[in-house]
């Protein structure tokens, strides 16, 4: 009797295990089909000509369906961004780490709270202001006030030549 039960237990466990693997193998494609497809991924990088951008101006380009702010900062703005003490920041990041070339700030124009596009040259810190839920960012795109948890994201980018930025 004891022996028979054990044999049955083994069969049940083996059946459940094989069944679980089978279900998983069917469910995963159903889930993964919703992830970004090959055509979406293929559009993952963009080149931008920035020769026409004057100091103190921002241009917005679309990258991966999201706005990217490219701001050519003035000397005063750079000085202001560098003067902020790290202790004052909710998400401490040095300006040097955010803008490798301090004249150019390249960042995702997406509020880290719930994804709205912040407005240029607005808010309490002369940077950006998100109209949705009132997050204030400074001239380095760092969160200073409001519900957003982190600074605006810096995408991967590089200067291909003096006037061209490649994002992504």
Catalytically active residues are 133
Beta carbon of residue 138, minimum distance to other proteins (angstroms, whole number): 19
For residue 42, CA distances in Å to 62, 64, 106, 151, 158 come to: 15, 10, 21, 27, 19
Tokens representing 50? Answer: 């920035």
Beta carbon of residue 115, minimum distance to other proteins (angstroms, whole number): 4
Of 48, 84, 106, 148, the one binding other proteins (CB under 8 A) is 148
Interaction with other proteins in 117-136: which residues (CB under 8 A)? 117-118, 130-134
Phi, psi of 87 (to 5 degrees): -65, -25
Beta carbon of residue 76, minimum distance to other proteins (angstroms, whole number): 27
Residue 92 or residue 115: which is nearer to other proteins going by CB? 115
> Nearest to residue 68, comparing CAs of 47, 38, 39?
47
Which of these segments, 5-13, 14-22, 36-44, 81-89, binds other proteins (CB under 8 A)?
36-44
Of 5, 24, 26, 37, the one binding other proteins (CB under 8 A) is 37
Beta carbon of residue 90, minimum distance to other proteins (angstroms, whole number): 11
Distance, in Å, from the CA atom of 71 to the CA atom of 109, rounded to the nearest integer, reads: 11
8 Å CB contact between 121 and 60: no
Interaction with other proteins in 40-59: which residues (CB under 8 A)? 40
Residue 65 contacts other proteins per CB under 8 A = yes
SS3 percent helix, strand, coil of the chain, rounded to 5, is 30, 25, 40
């Amino acid at each position: 009797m004891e022996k028979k039960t054990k044999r049955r237990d083994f069969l049940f466990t083996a059946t459940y295990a094989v069944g679980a693997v089978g279900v998983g193998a069917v469910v995963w494609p159903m889930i993964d089909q919703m992830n970004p497809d090959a055509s979406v991924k293929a559009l993952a990088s963009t080149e931008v000509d920035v020769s026409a951008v004057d100091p103190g101006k921002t241009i917005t380009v679309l990258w991966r369906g999201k706005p990217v702010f490219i701001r050519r900062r003035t000397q005063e703005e750079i000085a202001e961004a560098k003067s902020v003490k790290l202790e004052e920041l909710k998400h401490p990041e040095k300006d040097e780490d955010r803008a490798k070339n301090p004249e150019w700030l390249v960042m995702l124009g997406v509020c880290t709270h719930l994804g709205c596009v912040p407005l240029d040259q607005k808010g309490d810190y002369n940077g950006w202001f998100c109209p949705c839920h009132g997050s204030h960012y400074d001239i380095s795109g760092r969160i200073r006030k409001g519900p957003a948890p982190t600074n605006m994201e810096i995408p991967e980018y590089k200067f291909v030549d003096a006037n061209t930025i490649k994002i992504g």
